[in-house]
Amino acid sequence: GRDILSDTGLWRDAAYVNGAWVSDGKAGTMDLCNPATGAMLAKLPQFDAGQVRGAVDAADAAFGPWRLRPAKDRAKLLRGWFDLMTEHAEDLARLIVLEEGKPFAEAKGEVAYAASFVEWFAEEAKRIRGDVMAAPEAGRRIVVLKEPVGVCAAITPWNFPAAMITRKAAPALAAGCTMVVKPAGQTPLTALALAELADRAGIPAGVFNVVLGRARVVGGELTANPKVRKITFTGSTEVGRLLLEQSAATIKKASMELGGNAPLLVFDDADLDEAVDGFIATKYRNTGQACISANRAYVQAGIHDAFVARLAEKVGALKVGEGFEDGVQQGPLIDAAAVEKVKDHIADAVAHGAQVVCGGATHNRGPLFFQPTVLSGVTQAMKITREETFGPIAPVVKFETEGEAVAMANDTEFGLAAYLFARDGARLWRVSAALEAGMIGVNTGLISNEVAPFGGIKQSGIGREGSVYGIDEFMEQKYLAWAGA
Known catalytic residues? 257
CB 306 → ligand ADP: shortest distance, Å? 35
CA separation for the pair 377, 354 (Å, rounded) = 5
Nearer to ligand ADP, 286 or 300 (CB): 286
Nearer to ligand ADP, 184 or 265 (CB): 184
CB 198 → ligand ADP: shortest distance, Å? 19
Q: Are 459 and 468 in contact (CB under 8 A)?
A: no
CA separation for the pair 403, 246 (Å, rounded) = 40
CA separation for the pair 100, 36 (Å, rounded) = 8
CB 328 → ligand ADP: shortest distance, Å? 22
The Cα-based distances of 35 to 17, 142, 357 in angstroms read 28, 57, 27
Q: Write the burial class of residue 90 (CB in 10 Å: 0-12 exposed, 13-18 middle, 19+ buried).
A: middle
CA 470: distance to chain centroid?
A: 14
CA 226: distance to chain centroid?
A: 26
Nearer to ligand ADP, 149 or 211 (CB): 211
CB 153 → ligand ADP: shortest distance, Å? 10
- Close Cβ partners of 53 (under 8 Å, ≥ 6 residues apart): 221, 225
Nearer to ligand ADP, 182 or 464 (CB): 182
Q: Are 213 and 434 in contact (CB under 8 A)?
A: no
- Close Cβ partners of 278 (under 8 Å, ≥ 6 residues apart): 264, 419, 421, 441, 443, 444, 445, 446
CB 243 → ligand ADP: shortest distance, Å? 6
Nearer to ligand ADP, 245 or 404 (CB): 245
CB 99 → ligand ADP: shortest distance, Å? 13
- Phi, psi at residue 352, to the nearest 5°? -100, 15
Q: Reduced to 3 states, what is the DSSP secondary structure of residue 131?
A: strand
Nearer to ligand ADP, 219 or 331 (CB): 219
Give CA angle at 388 (362, 185), nearest 5°.
75
Question: Where along the sequence are the contacts to ligand ADP (CB under 6 A)?
Answer: 155-157, 182, 184-185, 215-216, 219, 235-236, 239, 242-243
CA separation for the pair 397, 405 (Å, rounded) = 9
